[in-house]
Structure 1
């Protein structure tokens, strides 16, 4: 349902003395909206890429979070609606829908907006939503904003929320149209290598099983022309679910031809959202640091290939959950057998 962009009144692009501050955050449906807005006000970012924006859903107070965030922060807003969240008895109160759901880009500067409707959709939500526990109508798409920053060329910003495997963000050719870019989002990368931004075309024997049936066009589009993420791919955990049993680096802040001056994470204790907030201070880069970006990209690939931290703990949590389930089953079975025996004798 990639048809819901909205832009507020444009603001003047006055020069700013500090580096450009950009933020990536999945705000978990805005359950803690007041705390989220307080954090964003304190950060005073120039560009915000946010996911899981709720609009008039019961689970989040039947309010328009997209509009509230824009008004409270005084920013221009671009919104893309991915799903109509259907109200259903199969949803718990904390999951209940009735409204819309999507992603957003906010900025103090003027923006030109467009939407990428991904060709590859892992789930058919209208058909399978009830089975997946989320009755909804719509499909995954990515919001794109060309942001008129005050110094240097425009920055092309992407706000994405992927399933486990989704369509790549455009082709290499279209990505090269504007060289200064940020690609932020919740990519849902649990326990598998992130192969979307490589320095060479991936093949089936390099981590993409033949049964995925990716076309040559998709593989060619997945070649990395220079994006990199300054956070540690194995150690910088960004999501914690199920009481901390399932953790991963699910959120990414890819930049291209932008020098990262400083980067850090907010919401480290996961009290405001189940995702940490990624913050970067960036400046326009020159050709002399592009090699550094390439080295960082290769380092990220090596870290993921080692299958450290995230994969280990994810498999450990799955094993522990399976063991507990088997123990509960055996305990219940023993109790039932004992009850039948007592009744018989």
Structure 2
């Protein structure tokens, strides 16, 4: 049994012994294939490995990996993945999954659970601890019938492929049992970390399950939408809200992210006034000044539609669906993109695969200009269509009726 504690890093290396010899690669290339996939606790281990072998990505960013949990046959799935794929992988433990009679058989623990980054190339890892957390699993996990010890951690990995500059990759799994405020606060620490490393490694990609699902019918749930933005984001999906309020604000646009304002007009207030009336701004938005300073995009763009669904629960008349999975690219051109597992047979998430080419030195110097161009190139409107607006009205009426009756 693999023993480790939350926040600890576990690594395996099953790459060929001649890894330093580029002849083991079919041909020297200038691109990297990077995969993002939440593999749902390895409930379907054979299908997952078969899919990963077929995709043959250079870097695989995976969430929800089980080690020694009864719900997934008490197997070390991290070791099995690395061995079957012939790669080096780093796994960050997030939770000790406590075995308990209150757990459902499908959720039974007994082992550990976390996220990982795997690569066929040379790779080094760093665990990112977080200050902001949206849910206290140590004390409240039993309320969800999943007692566990630990918290959310993020994983950063520097990939050094032959004939390419280093690429800094991130693996994230944000909290689902909270709201937009806590998720953005947690994510802001990743943006700050990325910004601090852009001079050293400008080529970066954030992959992860951001659990951006606080819209549609989820607004009615006190578990999945726990703050004021369950109402204040009416009219759009959470992923669209993130695109407009977080990713559209570049760090060169100002010292605080003024787009994270509750009222639209506040986003136009100059920093001079915000600095002297910070208490009003933070009260109106719900975000601390620390988060408003950190939640500034250092140049990541999203090469997927803002409402690209990657999880669709068949319950609730198909209304429980969202874009949870993201691949956010910095200083790299996206050549190709593809998605799969659209029947959700190997996992309850679709996977996202992007092939990227790092920018050259001259392009890196033009990062801000290229960021604007690429956002325009890839961005699609996040406004709801007619059906979406009708559903928003229905949800709004349901929320009003709920409060009137209580």
* Structure-2-length-normalised TM-score: 0.72
SS where residue 69 of structure 1 aligns? helix
- Report if the CA contact (8 A) 2:159-2:167 is conserved: yes
Aligned 8 A contact 2:12 2:79 in 1: no
SS at 2:101's partner residue?
coil
- Residue of structure 2 in register with 1:230 after alignment: 303
The separation in 1 between residues aligned to 2:155 and 2:294, in whole angstroms, is 18
Counterpart-to-counterpart distance in 2, 1:314 and 1:86:
39
CA contact (8 A) 2:191 2:298 kept: no
1:6-21 aligned within 5 A: 6-8=11-13, 11-12=19-20, 14=22, 16-18=27-29, 19-21=31-33
Cα offset for 1:320?
12
Structure with the largest fraction of helix: 2
Kindly tell me the number of residue pairs found equivalent between the two proteins.
321
Flag the 1:225–1:85 CA change in 2: closer, same or farther, 3 A. same
Counterpart-to-counterpart distance in 1, 2:152 and 2:373: 31
* C-alpha distance 302-256 of structure 1, shift in aligned 2 (>3 A): same
Contact kept in structure 2, 1:28 and 1:275, CA below 8 Å:
yes
Aligned match of 1:281: 355
Equivalent residue for 1:271, pick from 345, 348, 364: 345
Instruction: Name the SS for the 1:130 alignment partner.
Output: helix
Q: Does 1:181 align with 2:231?
A: no
Whether contact under 8 Å (1:142, 1:159) holds in the other structure is: yes
Give the TM-score taking structure 1 as reference length.
0.84
How far did residue 182 of structure 1 move?
1.0
State the distance in 1 between where 2:393 and 2:327 align.
27
Following superposition of structure 1 onto structure 2, how do residues 25-64 of structure 1 map, counting pairs within 5 Å? 25-64=37-76
Identify the range of structure 1 (49-58 vs 244-253) with the bigger mean alpha-carbon deviation: 244-253
Would you say 1:303 and 2:303 are equivalent positions? no
How large is the RMSD of aligned CA atoms in angstroms? 2.9
The structure 1 residue matched to 2:7, chosen from 2, 19, 27, is 2
Which blocks of at least 5 consecutive residues in structure 1 are unaligned? 323-345
Instruction: Could you list the structure 1 runs, at least 4 aligned residues long, displaced by more than 4 angstroms after superposition.
Output: 206-209, 287-290, 298-302, 307-322
Contact persistence 2:14–2:83 (CA under 8 A)? no
Q: Is the 8 A contact 1:25 1:278 kept in 2?
A: yes
CA contact (8 A) 1:13 1:149 kept: no
Unpaired runs of 5+ in structure 2?
A: 1-5, 216-237, 265-280, 400-406
- 2:207·2:326 contact (CA, 8 Å) conserved in 1? yes
